[in-house]
Structure 1
Amino acid sequence: MRIKLRICIGLAVALTSTVCMGSVRYLPGNVEAEISLKVPGNEAVDYQLHPEKLENNYFDYQMCGNDKLPVTVFHRVQERDGHMLLTVRLTAAEDVYFNYRQSLLTGYRHEDCQFYMPGFWYRRNLRSPKEAPSFHTSDSWLVREDRLSAPLTGIFSEKDKKFMIVNRLDDFAVDALSTHKEGEVILSGKTSLGFTGFENKQGVSVLSFGFPYREAPKSYIRKLTLAPAVTAYQHLKKGETILLTWQIAEGEAKDYSDFVQHTWEYCYDTYSPKPVDTPYSIEYMKQALSQFFVSSFVDKYPLVYNSGIHLRTDACTSNGQAEVGFIGRVLLNAFNAWEYGWECNREDLKANSTKIFDSYLKNGFTEAGFFKESVNFDKNFEDPVHSIRRQSEGLYAIFHFLAYEKEKGRKHPEWEQRLKKMLDMFLQLQNADGSFPRKFRDDFTIVDKSGGSTPSATLPLVMGYKYFKDKRYLDSAKRAADYLEKELISKADYFSSTLDANCEDKEASLYAATATYYLSLVTKGEEHKHYADLTKQAAYFALSWYYLWDVPFAPGQMLGDIGLKTRGWGNVSVENNHIDVFVFEFADVLRWLSNEYNESRFSDFAEVISTSMRQLLPYEGHMCGIAKVGYYPEVVQHTSWDYGKNGKGYYNDIFAPGWTVASLWELFTPGRAETFMKK
């Protein structure tokens, strides 16, 4: 157990101005400061600090311990743009290993509060199981900054309609390897990573932050695996100085959604992410990605498909697993290859896509008429459980195929009959509240009644309305949107859209925004505005998962060595703490919102996403740790977490390029939904 030396402390904040983002004044009172010093081979000692006011000095306070310490700590407090800027200077009088920590009392009752660490923590993370970070395990959490899409923590008091946030402003340039992931860890070199979080101090919510990183009461090392707390110690040589900078602000918000919107806009303006200077044009990206369509083609089974799930990164050898949607996206890849084949006069792509579509039309449906959405020919197994998400994504792909073919004067009546039947079965599956079950069987019995995947179904219903001119499908889509508004958007509760986790996730908010975007495209007047407003509200939550800064990597961590910039990449979910290229149509949604609301942040960030997600394109001489050209990586591990193998700076050894290629292809083929709705 670490030794504790406690001393009466000072420093506090008095909160002023609460117009959106208000200033915070720094006065003696309610802030705790602490420095932890470690001698290698010995337990660390924590020293509480108290302020001594300085006069006629660059710094405002010297933070002192009860005894003379081998480190001097000074604070400078400034007001800048209505926020409080806190600069901390640490100077070593002798060689030390240190960890610095500060806690700021908000004045809000903890039980009245909801919490926010972007891309990782929403409200109280109660959708997440106790095996992942959530209030189920603790009501106080400190985490590494690189877990977060912005190095920030926010606390929102629902009772007071106020929030307070703290974010770090330093140059995030370097990271260091450590030999251990728990306990007291001495870093192998310099890092830029600190920590941030919230704590319950005697019933009052506290913003806690410091440097270098800590994680408590648990760290999170892989899916559903909490580990003991960790505290990192950095070496500071005699005479060496380090400067640390945080910004603190308070504001008012009418609800949690309003709080997230204000905070995202604040973060965007603070970190000002710029497009990544990548040399790859969209044409080059598609040319390289199209090699996946050829290399992954499998035609020796009753279903013909691109093999894109559960592949090894070091081999990319095709297997017998075909998946219509989710991580496979067989039918969307077939359409993308088909359209590209015609554009570029690629007979190989056209021939392959024809075989895929023909095989699914002949052999790809269950007895009831749903897609055989997940088939494993290696094990002679067909998953008997269907998902509304995979079924919807298959419908989406075929609708685009049929619309493209109709425009070229080619008809596919058998496909049309199949799609009508599927949509009619969707109407049977829909619940009275407008939701769709997440998982079900061929006989319509429900396996998972959760409505988190409802937005997935909304897309093909709107498309079916436009393609077949059948208002029943539009009515169903509107009922689904009513559910989304009532249960997801208005409650700021986006959950369980992904199929391999039960938690808060990016895809739920992204799909919700896309679903209401579709409805806004086919409605007018007040109805159009209503759906547009819902799209905007959900979009802020989706945006909150996307990185606004570049996390540092240590030398020897591959992703850092090849220069990956994380801005524009999205974290996945509370359970799966890695970044990926899941965007699909979301960039189109952002550009549309930008025009609809005259909000340049949306379109500007869409360009950041578009440029940043080109960085890991595997091609000869630039394979990025992937065995084959065009097989874009998936599980990009950017923090101290792994999906099972390798850890920060690398990928998991198993990946699914089926969906990554499909996502990037849609990103680089803008305007599909708007074009479809105009036909």
Structure 2
Amino acid sequence: MKRFFNYALTLAFLIAGLGTTAAQQYCISLKKPGNPAVRYQLSEQQGQLRANSELPVTIVKKTEQKGDGQSLLTVTITAKERVYFNFGGMMNTAFATADCDFYLPGFWYHKNLRSPRQAPSFHTSKSWNFREDRLSSPLTGVFDSRSGSSLSVMRLLDAPKEALTTHQEGEVIVSGETSLGYLGFDNESGRAALTFGYPYMETPKRYIRKLTLTAPIQAFACLEKGQKKTVSWLITEGKAQDYGQFVANTWNLCMDQMNPQPIKPLYTADEMKAQLSNYFAKGYVDKYALKYHSGHGLRCDDCIPVDHVQLGFCGRVLLNGFNALEYGEQQGNATFVKMGQDIFSSWLENGFTARGYFKEDMHIRNGIPADQDCIHSIRQQSEAVYAVLHYLVYEKKQGRRHKEWEAKMRTLLNQMLLLQKADGSFPRKYRDDHTDVDASGGSTPSATSTLVMGYKYFGDKRYLAAAKRTISYLEENIISKSDYFSSTLDANCEDKEAAISAVTATYYMAMVTKKQERQHYIDLCQKATYFALSWYYLWDVPFAQGQMLGDLNFKSRGWSNVSVENNHIDVFVFELPHIVKWLGEEVKEPRFTQAYNVIYSSLNQLLPTKERLCGIGVPGFNPEVVQHTNWDYGRNGKGFYNDIFAPGWTVASLWEMYSPERTLNFLTKKIK
């Protein structure tokens, strides 16, 4: 960290004209090929940034007041001869680090202390710099809980351009033009400072793949004699009641400034379903006691089904089974209808423990696990109940009743009442005898929608009472603290799915309550929605020629980062777009409506079709791990996918987005 970016001990303050909370510092590093770079401290003199010695560049700094507490900072670097440079700035504050929480959208929340030290967090360092393409909006921000004051620095984007480097660590010269800079923060002095610059660097470590930090990087851009490079940042000071309001205010700022527009869809909803249904045809496995669509651990290049069965999460077995059945009847496809029926029949017969929980995760060639070997997750159990209750409502409409399934759901819901803890929470993972494996309550909102659906289907008010208790826990421990974590099953950290789960839970409650109680749930839903949407890209990250995603003209806006541990983008939305659209109308917030339009229009871009496979071996098997930044699961890197993927949940997620009336009808119409 100190070799690349240590202003705190060496640079003098330059007052930025933004009041007493912020002061700017600058430096430039110049590199001669084959030599170590030399860093020069800069001071402002008559609108220029100068060093103590003559530089082969001129640096003009301009500050323009944009409104109350807001300023536009523009730096123009002009080369007197060919140079390779990296320019950096820092906004110092009077905020004590101990009182501060930081925000880099879609990647850093609070101090990232929910994440392990093998991922970027305060466990490893209190000062970090990141490439802008890691962030859903190119912004770094800090909130001081003691004063309620905040400061953010937002990069105003150039046209997206990217170039490759021959090395991925140390001092590297970019092989062409890149639009990517960096953003971060510095706490070396015990006072918070925000960092920014161009081109990118990452310190004190780079996050290259899951739970893997490695050597830092500092990139250098080339300017030929007479060439200029202009870079701008919007600096905003503000006030907020708490960190949650700060994030909401900052997301609104990003929406207004970046103003992302919908993408012209490549396919209609019907065309999407027609292509995705090929997953039902080619992913089906019927040779075991449990039937399923293979959804976890397939190879991208051939998509051949495997024996790993995951009921919910990655596989979403029952939801895909229901979708195949419903779509088969709509299209007159008897194969899909029988497929769906056989999946449900096999799980009814062989998929439950004696206590009444679903068996979730197995390599089925080894047989179905014994009850005592099962570990359950509240998320996967809830996802399975969600699918079954939708299936039962659909079947009722067709004049078909499944009393055995109803009895199974009653048993499972009643077990959930016994599993719920005194504070209203549910354990994240547990054994069949209700002993905890992971007592964390972060996944509690997964149970809320299940209990509400149980109440709607069976009319049992105990389920609604239990759902209300989950919201009490959610409000006190998650929403009020802006602490969304622990909902994705392969990572236990700050994550998007936790925020989406909170949005969904409060939406379900709003749909089955009235008056002031309903309004309270809407208010909670709105607070959680800002965090969910903060993970979604409002801009298009650049790709270099030869990086497949760029060659496909892929636009990242509308896609979302996964979690701190998993720094790639994907199509995880399920019900979220419909909820965001509804909420935008309910609270009269056009930014939510705009976000819905961007997400809905964007997520079809990588659908594999026969004519446009998008790097996937079989049409309809929508990709999962979309590697949009310099991070991977071990294969291929930026602009490509990992070699292994899980299409079960991606198909289910998109199918849900293209079935906008399903949940609304369940929650608002009488179930006969």
Q: Do the aligned partners of 1:118 and 1:544 also contact (CA within 8 Å) in 2?
A: yes
Task: Give the whole-Å Cα distance in 1 for the aligned partners of 2:467 and 2:3.
Answer: 57
SS in 1 for 2:246: helix
SS in 2 for 1:332: helix
Give, as a single letter, the amino acid of the residue that structure 2 aligns with 1:370. Answer: Y
1:80 has 2:70 as partner: no
Deviation at 1:87, TM superposition (A): 1.0
2:278 matched residue in structure 1? 291
Task: Give the whole-Å Cα distance in 2 for the aligned partners of 1:446 and 1:320.
Answer: 28
Residue 96 (structure 2) aligned to one of 109, 112, 118: 109
2:549 matched residue in structure 1? 559
TM-superposition CA deviations, 1:496-545 (whole Å, max 9, x none): 10011110000001001100100110000111011111111011000000
Task: Give the whole-Å Cα distance in 2 for the aligned partners of 1:432 and 1:387.
Answer: 19
Q: Do the aligned partners of 1:257 and 1:492 also contact (CA within 8 Å) in 2?
A: yes
2:492 matched residue in structure 1? 502
Give, as a single letter, the amino acid of the residue that structure 1 aligns with 2:311. Answer: V
Unaligned runs of 5+ in 2: none
Deviation at 1:367, TM superposition (A): 2.2
Deviation at 1:10, TM superposition (A): 4.9
Q: Do the aligned partners of 1:114 and 1:156 also contact (CA within 8 Å) in 2?
A: yes
Give, as a single letter, the amino acid of the residue that structure 2 aligns with 1:610. Answer: Y
Deviation at 1:321, TM superposition (A): 1.9
Give, as a single letter, the amino acid of the residue that structure 2 aligns with 1:32. Answer: Q
Task: Give the whole-Å Cα distance in 2 for the aligned partners of 1:152 and 1:285.
Answer: 34
Residue 538 (structure 2) aligned to one of 533, 543, 548: 548
TM-superposition CA deviations, 1:383-422 (whole Å, max 9, x none): 6211111111000000000111112221110000000000
TM-superposition CA deviations, 1:210-250 (whole Å, max 9, x none): 00001111110001111111100111111111110111011
Task: Give the whole-Å Cα distance in 2 for the aligned partners of 1:385 and 1:31.
Answer: 53
Task: Give the whole-Å Cα distance in 1 for the aligned partners of 2:3 and 2:305.
Answer: 52
Task: Give the whole-Å Cα distance in 1 for the aligned partners of 2:662 and 2:423.
Answer: 30
Residue 15 (structure 1) aligned to one of 15, 18, 28: 18
Residue 425 (structure 2) aligned to one of 405, 416, 435: 435
SS in 1 for 2:81: coil
Specify whether residues 99 and 431 from structure 1 end up closer, same or farther in structure 2 by C-alpha distance, changes over 3 A only. same
1:531 has 2:524 as partner: no
Specify whether residues 45 and 293 from structure 1 end up closer, same or farther in structure 2 by C-alpha distance, changes over 3 A only. same
SS in 1 for 2:142: strand
TM-superposition CA deviations, 1:464-518 (whole Å, max 9, x none): 0010000000011111111111110001001110011110000001001100100
After TM superposition, the runs of 4+ consecutive aligned structure 1 residues lying more than 6 A away are 3-7
1:622 has 2:612 as partner: yes
2:446 matched residue in structure 1? 456
1:218 matched residue in structure 2? 205
1:92 has 2:59 as partner: no
TM-score where L is the length of structure 2: 0.96
Deviation at 1:603, TM superposition (A): 1.8
**Which stretch has the larger CA shift, 595-604 or 554-563?**
595-604
1:192 matched residue in structure 2? 179
Deviation at 1:2, TM superposition (A): 5.4
Deviation at 1:201, TM superposition (A): 4.5
Specify whether residues 519 and 242 from structure 1 end up closer, same or farther in structure 2 by C-alpha distance, changes over 3 A only. same
Deviation at 1:96, TM superposition (A): 1.1
**Which stretch has the larger CA shift, 320-329 or 462-471?**
320-329
1:40 matched residue in structure 2? 33
SS in 2 for 1:193: coil
2:375 matched residue in structure 1? 385
Matches within 5 A, 1:331-480: 331-380=318-367, 382=369, 384-480=374-470
TM-superposition CA deviations, 1:31-61 (whole Å, max 9, x none): 21100011111111000011112xxxxxxx1
2:158 matched residue in structure 1? 171
Give, as a single letter, the amino acid of the residue that structure 1 aligns with 2:268. Answer: S
Q: Do the aligned partners of 2:11 and 2:25 also contact (CA within 8 Å) in 1?
A: no
Matches within 5 A, 1:509-528: 509-528=499-518
Task: Give the whole-Å Cα distance in 2 for the aligned partners of 1:428 and 1:283.
Answer: 42
Task: Give the whole-Å Cα distance in 1 for the aligned partners of 2:257 and 2:662.
Answer: 33
Residue 155 (structure 1) aligned to one of 142, 146, 151: 142
Task: Give the whole-Å Cα distance in 2 for the aligned partners of 1:378 and 1:187.
Answer: 49
Deviation at 1:672, TM superposition (A): 2.1
Deviation at 1:13, TM superposition (A): 2.5
Task: Give the whole-Å Cα distance in 2 for the aligned partners of 1:135 and 1:474.
Answer: 40
Q: Do the aligned partners of 1:187 and 1:232 also contact (CA within 8 Å) in 2?
A: yes
Task: Give the whole-Å Cα distance in 1 for the aligned partners of 2:611 and 2:149.
Answer: 52
Aligned residues: 662
Task: Give the whole-Å Cα distance in 2 for the aligned partners of 1:15 and 1:221.
Answer: 36
Q: Do the aligned partners of 1:322 and 1:374 also contact (CA within 8 Å) in 2?
A: yes
Deviation at 1:98, TM superposition (A): 0.5
Give, as a single letter, the amino acid of the residue that structure 2 aligns with 1:545. Answer: W
Deviation at 1:177, TM superposition (A): 0.8
SS in 1 for 2:430: strand
1:63 matched residue in structure 2? 49
Q: Do the aligned partners of 2:103 and 2:110 also contact (CA within 8 Å) in 1?
A: yes
**Which stretch has the larger CA shift, 644-653 or 414-423?**
644-653
Deviation at 1:334, TM superposition (A): 0.9
Q: Do the aligned partners of 1:7 and 1:66 also contact (CA within 8 Å) in 2?
A: no
Q: Do the aligned partners of 2:18 and 2:71 also contact (CA within 8 Å) in 1?
A: no
Q: Do the aligned partners of 2:126 and 2:188 also contact (CA within 8 Å) in 1?
A: no
Residue 305 (structure 1) aligned to one of 256, 269, 292: 292
1:321 has 2:308 as partner: yes
Task: Give the whole-Å Cα distance in 1 for the aligned partners of 2:406 and 2:185.
Answer: 54
Root-mean-square deviation (CA), in Å?
Answer: 1.6
Residue 661 (structure 2) aligned to one of 648, 668, 671: 671
Task: Give the whole-Å Cα distance in 2 for the aligned partners of 1:376 and 1:517.
Answer: 36
Task: Give the whole-Å Cα distance in 2 for the aligned partners of 1:158 and 1:381.
Answer: 51
TM-superposition CA deviations, 1:604-646 (whole Å, max 9, x none): 2111111110000000121010000000000000101001211
SS in 1 for 2:365: coil
**Which stretch has the larger CA shift, 114-123 or 666-675?**
666-675
Q: Do the aligned partners of 2:141 and 2:152 also contact (CA within 8 Å) in 1?
A: yes
SS in 2 for 1:583: coil
Q: Percent identity?
A: 55
SS in 1 for 2:203: strand
SS in 1 for 2:205: strand
Q: Do the aligned partners of 1:2 and 1:44 also contact (CA within 8 Å) in 2?
A: no
Task: Give the whole-Å Cα distance in 1 for the aligned partners of 2:487 and 2:285.
Answer: 29
Q: Do the aligned partners of 1:2 and 1:45 also contact (CA within 8 Å) in 2?
A: no
Q: Do the aligned partners of 1:146 and 1:551 also contact (CA within 8 Å) in 2?
A: yes
Give, as a single letter, the amino acid of the residue that structure 2 aligns with 1:617. Answer: L
Task: Give the whole-Å Cα distance in 2 for the aligned partners of 1:91 and 1:499.
Answer: 50
**Which stretch has the larger CA shift, 73-82 or 186-195?**
73-82
Task: Give the whole-Å Cα distance in 1 for the aligned partners of 2:3 and 2:410.
Answer: 66
1:237 has 2:224 as partner: yes
Residue 143 (structure 1) aligned to one of 105, 109, 130: 130
1:121 has 2:108 as partner: yes
Q: Do the aligned partners of 1:172 and 1:550 also contact (CA within 8 Å) in 2?
A: no
SS in 2 for 1:134: coil
Give, as a single letter, the amino acid of the residue that structure 2 aligns with 1:675. Answer: N
SS in 2 for 1:477: helix
Task: Give the whole-Å Cα distance in 2 for the aligned partners of 1:249 and 1:33.
Answer: 18
Deviation at 1:183, TM superposition (A): 1.1
Deviation at 1:433, TM superposition (A): 0.5
SS in 2 for 1:15: coil
Task: Give the whole-Å Cα distance in 1 for the aligned partners of 2:436 and 2:657.
Answer: 34
Give, as a single letter, the amino acid of the residue that structure 1 aligns with 2:250. Answer: T
TM-superposition CA deviations, 1:266-292 (whole Å, max 9, x none): 101111111112221111001000110
SS in 1 for 2:78: strand
